[in-house]
């Protein structure tokens, strides 16, 4: 099961835009993950399954500690690592996470069953475009780490689900720096992804409706808040 994913994992995960020596310094000098979640991280690394990198983990821990969200929505569960990080940081929060990949869902179920001790995390299986329409109530943090071409499609629904002072975070927006490459110079099978990201940037960057911040963590993290 994991071997299939191994062959199809995204090579962009190993192409950080920030200088490699700075990335290594950030990942080695900040507080390391220990205990049960270290086991999940070890499994991800051994099987080449992309999870949020260490510098992003540290940022999430600080952000969540400051915001103290009551409800969190995650689009893209993978093996459940990021959802478990969030549950650990905000033990009173409800976390709803969505994924449609059967292989990842099975791995996530095992990890959540083993490590989600407070039963905070609700895993919803299926296409996010459909599940998002079924959700009710508001979320204080919405984290997207799924198909990048879909971010622009998910944005209007996410904004409707966002609480008054909530924050949306979108991961891997740099695509190894390819967002600066002319679209016709990008491999044909990557163009839909790139077009989706560029539509997203056209919508939210320099738009008075939103407060935005781009952070050079991992492969780029975009933060969006209603102005």
Instruction: Express each pLDDT in 135-182 by its tens digit.
Output: 999 999 999 999 999 999 999 999 999 999 999 999 999 988 888 889
C-alpha distances in Å from residue 121, one per residue of 94, 147, 162, 179, 223: 6, 21, 18, 33, 23
Is 29 known as a binding-site position?
no
Tokens representing residue 198 in the block: 């560029």
Q: Is the separation of the CB atoms in 149 and 195 below 8 Å?
A: yes
Residue bearing tokens 């080695």 = 28
Q: Is 28 annotated as a binding residue?
A: no
- Confidence category of residue 118, pLDDT binned at 50, 70, 90: very high
**pLDDT band for position 11 (50/70/90)?**
very low
Residue 172, annotated as binding a ligand: no
Tokens describing residue 208:
């008075």
Q: What pLDDT was estimated at residue 4? A: 46
Annotated ligand binding at 219? The verdict is no
Mean pLDDT of 191-212: 95
52 is in an annotated binding site: yes
Phi, psi of 192 (to 5 degrees): -60, -40
Which pLDDT score is estimated for 17? 67
Among the listed residues 206, 196, 198, 204, the one whose alpha carbon sits nearest the alpha carbon of residue 181: 198
171 annotated to bind ligand: no
Burial of 97 (0-12, 13-18, 19+ CB in 10 A): buried
pLDDT tier at 1, thresholds 50, 70, 90? very low
* Longest CA pairwise span in the chain (Å): 49
Q: Which domains does the chain have, with CATH numbers?
A: 2-226 (3.40.50.150)
**194, 180 in Cβ contact below 8 A?**
no
| pLDDT at position 93 | 98
Question: CB–CB of 195/185 below 8 Å?
Answer: no
Looking at residue 10, what is its pLDDT? 44
């Amino acid at each position: 099961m994991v071997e299939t994913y191994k062959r199809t994992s995204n090579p962009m995960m190993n192409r950080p835009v920030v200088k490699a020596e700075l990335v290594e310094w950030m990942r080695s000098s900040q507080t390391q993950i220990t205990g049960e979640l270290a086991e999940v991280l070890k499994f991800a690394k051994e099987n080449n399954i992309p999870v949020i990198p260490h510098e992003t983990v540290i940022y999430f821990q600080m952000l969540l500690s400051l915001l103290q969200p009551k409800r969190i929505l995650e689009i893209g569960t993978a093996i459940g690592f990021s959802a478990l990080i969030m549950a650990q940081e905000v033990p009173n929060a409800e976390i709803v996470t969505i994924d449609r990949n059967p292989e990842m869902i099975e791995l996530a179920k095992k990890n959540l069953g083993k490590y989600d001790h407070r039963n905070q995390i609700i895993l919803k299986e299926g296409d996010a475009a459909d599940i998002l329409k079924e959700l009710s109530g508001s979320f204080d943090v919405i984290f997207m780490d799924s198909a990048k071409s879909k971010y622009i499609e998910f944005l209007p629904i996410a904004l409707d689900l966002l609480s008054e002072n909530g924050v949306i975070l979108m991961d891997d927006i740099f695509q190894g720096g390819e967002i600066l490459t002319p679209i016709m110079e990008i491999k044909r099978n990557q163009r839909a992804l790139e077009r989706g990201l560029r539509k997203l940037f056209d919508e939210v960057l320099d738009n008075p409706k939103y407060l935005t911040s781009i952070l050079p963590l991992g492969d780029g993290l975009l933060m969006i808040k209603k102005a």
